[in-house]
């Protein structure tokens, strides 16, 4: 079947996730800049989580230019990704409300790790569906970036119990690494005839 409905569902869930995160932003109690400045940790947490959700949506958009058709395995893998992304508002709010305490920061890292693993599972399902001539497989190559990312999230989770702020910095650094949409996909798209884009 075509991937249009899967893409539409993903767009809708991402929009809801971002909306929930925005609604978690509470205005300051006071009407001065000092009161607003007190909320800077909240804004930082929101920005980091917004960037992560945006990264997944952006890369999802690029990936599915190479995936015009999906099967049941890909649909379930995509739903698995959406499940973990949908927990982002919860883990963000918990981390923020407890001023970067160890356990909330670690759980935030666990949610990031699960998103990364579910993304890897989804792209694996796509490549299996497309077979040996998979255009996505050709685009990703050995995918060292994707394979090494979970190790950094694991290090951030462990670091949370010793230095939560340093753990937070690891998560932020990984967001910077993934900020630009995957150029490997763009390069592969440029080599495919327009009628074949999305195919395996």
For 100, phi then psi, to 5°, come to: 60, 40
- Give pLDDT, residue 108: 96
Q: Where does the pLDDT of residue 6 fall: very low under 50, low under 70, confident under 90, or very high at 90 and above?
A: very high
- Give pLDDT, residue 74: 95
pLDDT over 80 (residue 127):
yes
Q: How far apart are CA 34 and CA 119, in angstroms?
A: 41
The tens digit of pLDDT for each residue in 24-70 reads 878 777 777 777 777 777 888 899 999 999 999 998 988 898 888 99
User: With contact defined as beta carbons under 8 Å apart, do 35 and 102 qualify?
Assistant: no
**Three-class secondary structure assignment of the chain:** CECHHHHHHHHHHHHHHHHHHHHCCCCCCCCCHHHHHCCHHHHHHHHHHHHHHHHHHHHHHHHCCCCCECCHHHHHHHHHHHHHHHCHHHHHHHHHHCCCCHHHHHHHHHHHHHHHHHHHHHHHHHHHHHCCCCHHHHHHCCCHHHHHHHHHHHHHHHHCCCCHHHHHHHHHHHHHHCCCCCHHHHHHHHHCCHHHCCCC
Q: Quote the pTM value.
A: 0.86
């Amino acid at each position: 079947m075509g991937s249009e409905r899967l893409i539409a569902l993903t767009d809708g869930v991402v929009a809801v996730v971002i909306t929930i995160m925005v609604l978690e932003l509470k205005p300051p109690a006071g009407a001065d800049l000092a009161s607003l400045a007190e909320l800077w940790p909240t804004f930082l947490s929101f920005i980091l989580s917004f960037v992560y959700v945006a990264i997944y949506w952006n890369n999802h958009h690029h990936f599915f230019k190479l995936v015009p058709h999906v099967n049941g395995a890909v649909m379930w893998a995509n739903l698995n990704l959406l499940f973990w992304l949908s927990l982002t508002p919860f883990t963000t709010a918990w981390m923020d409300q407890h001023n970067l305490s160890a356990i909330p920061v670690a759980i935030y890292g666990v949610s990031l790790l699960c998103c990364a693993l579910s993304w890897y599972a989804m792209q694996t399902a796509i490549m299996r569906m497309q077979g040996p001539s998979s255009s996505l497989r050709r685009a990703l190559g050995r995918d060292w970036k994707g394979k090494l990312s979970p190790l950094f999230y694991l290090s951030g989770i462990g670091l949370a119990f010793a230095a939560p702020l340093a753990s937070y910095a690891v998560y932020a650094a990984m967001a910077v690494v993934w900020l630009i949409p995957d150029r490997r996909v763009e390069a592969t798209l440029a080599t495919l005839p327009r009628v074949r884009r999305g195919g395996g």
